[in-house]
Amino acid sequence: MIEREQVLHVARLSRLRLGDEELDTLAGELSSILDHVDKLAEVDIEGVEPTSHVVPLENVLRPDEPRPSLERDVALSQAPDPEDGAFRVPSPQAEA
């Protein structure tokens, strides 16, 4: 069982202001949580592989296969100020 003073100490470290009623409630709740953790510690996990997910994850993305892309001239046709086959953008110093 967690003592009220321990809850008060953690509350101070966490910079939480707790009333008397809240301290008593949290002491009971934290004790209950620690009881559950103790029960989990009793479970035999010998031979159980650690996992990060309960169900296996699968990659749902399409295969990365090369395919034709947009022609350079078509892409640059919408640019306001293309230069030498590239997009021309203002320099960062010009904006300052």
Q: Where are the alpha helices (DSSP H) in the chain?
A: 4-13, 20-41, 72-76, 92-95
pTM greater than 0.75: no
Average predicted confidence (pLDDT) for the chain: 89
- Which CATH number is associated with domain 4-41? 1.10.20.60
Residue pair 20/27 in contact (Cβ under 8 Å)? The answer is no
Domain boundaries, the chain: 4-41
The pLDDT tens digits for 2-54 are 899 999 999 999 999 999 999 999 999 999 999 999 999 999 989 988 888 88
